[in-house]
Chains A and B, each alone.
Chain A
Amino acid sequence: DVKVTQSSRYLVKRTGEKVFLECVQDMDHENMFWYRQDPGLGLRLIYFSYDVKMKEKGDIPEGYSVSREKKERFSLILESASTNQTSMYLCASSTHPQGFEHEKLFFGSGTQLSVL
């Protein structure tokens, strides 16, 4: 069974802290994504990666960075957490780097981050 695992289900941090959200997939997928989910806004893409050490900005990258040192792991970093980054963060992975026709995303269960 395919699996995308996010390290924490709930996380509480303080303003200004550096926060790491970890995501691991066991499907040998090339593509990995970080989304945030907010009520009324749906899912918005923060960053994605097509390969190890590669990263691309999504629609809302400000305040975030990512790291992909190994194929199976994609980390989202909040350099200095702020209250407006309180949200549900969802990691996803997919395969078929040559073409996206048959691609579908596999999602983790999410990390609910609260920044106080």
Chain B
Amino acid sequence: AQKVTQAQTEISVVEKEDVTLDCVYETRDTTYYLFWYKQPPSGELVFLIRRNSFDEQNEISGRYSWNFQKSTSSFNFTITASQVVDSAVYFCALRGGNTGKLIFGQGTTLQVKP
């Protein structure tokens, strides 16, 4: 069975702090894809990143960075120098190689205070 766990329900930080959102996944597939989505207060989920299971290289995009470690089945997301506009619910998701089904974690609500 496939499963995604985001153990942090809510995180509150002060602007300019760094924050890491944890994601742990379970799958028996050898080929799989991991995603992060952001859901701002408007409600529409926005795609942030996709990673396939063969590419463990970490990625940085501006203030965002992602750490993929197969050994610990984790795909963590770090926001550097957080801003108020980063306040949102963040979802980690997993898809097995042969299916279009995307399995989401429970979500982490991030509040960045000014």
- A and B bound? yes
Chain A positions within 8 Å of B, measured between CB atoms, are 31, 33, 35, 40-45, 48, 50, 58-59, 88, 90, 92, 94, 100-110
Bound form: Cα–Cα A86–B81 in Å: 37
Among B99, B100, B106, residue most surrounded by chain A Cβ atoms (within 10 Å): B100
Binding site for A on B (CB under 8 A): 4, 6, 9, 33, 35, 37, 42-47, 50, 52, 91, 93, 95, 97, 99-107
- Contact partners of A45 in chain B: CB under 8 A: 101-103
Which residues from chain B contact A108 at a C-beta distance below 8 Å? Answer: 44
Q: Which of B91, B102, B106, B107 is the most central at the interface, judged by chain A CB atoms within 10 Å of its CB?
A: B102
Q: Is the CB of A42 within 8 A of B105?
A: yes
Which B residues lie within 8 Å of A48 (CB)?
100-101
Give chain B nearest CB distance to A43 CB in angstroms: 4
Taking a contact as CB atoms under 8 Å apart, the answer to whether B104 and A90 are in contact is no
B102 to chain A, nearest CB (A): 6
Shortest Cβ distance from residue A102 to the other chain B in the assembled complex, whole angstroms: 8
A20 to B76 CA separation, bound complex (whole angstroms): 38
| Structural contact, A104 and B43, CB atoms closer than 8 A | no
**B92 → chain A, closest Cβ, in Å?**
9
List of A residues within 8 angstroms of B6 by Cβ: 42
Is the pair A110, B44 in contact by a Cβ cutoff of 8 Å? yes
List A contacts of B44 (CB < 8 A).
107-110
Q: Which of B93, B95, B106 contacts A100 (CB 8 A)?
A: B95
Choose one: B33, B35, B43; the contact of A110 (CB below 8 Å): B43
8 closest Cβ contacts across the A-B interface? Answer: A43-B104, A107-B45, A42-B106, A42-B104, A110-B43, A109-B43, A104-B47, A109-B44
Q: Within 8 Å CB of A35, what residues of B?
A: 104
Q: Which of B9, B47, B91 contacts A40 (CB 8 A)?
A: B9
Report B-chain residues with C-beta under 8 Å of the C-beta of A94: 100
CB-CB under 8 A for A104 and B50, given A109-B42, A110-B44 = yes
| Alpha-carbon distance between A92 and B100 when the two chains are bound, in angstroms | 12
Give Cα distance in the complex from A42 to B102, angstroms.
12
In the complex, A44→B97 CA distance in Å?
A: 19
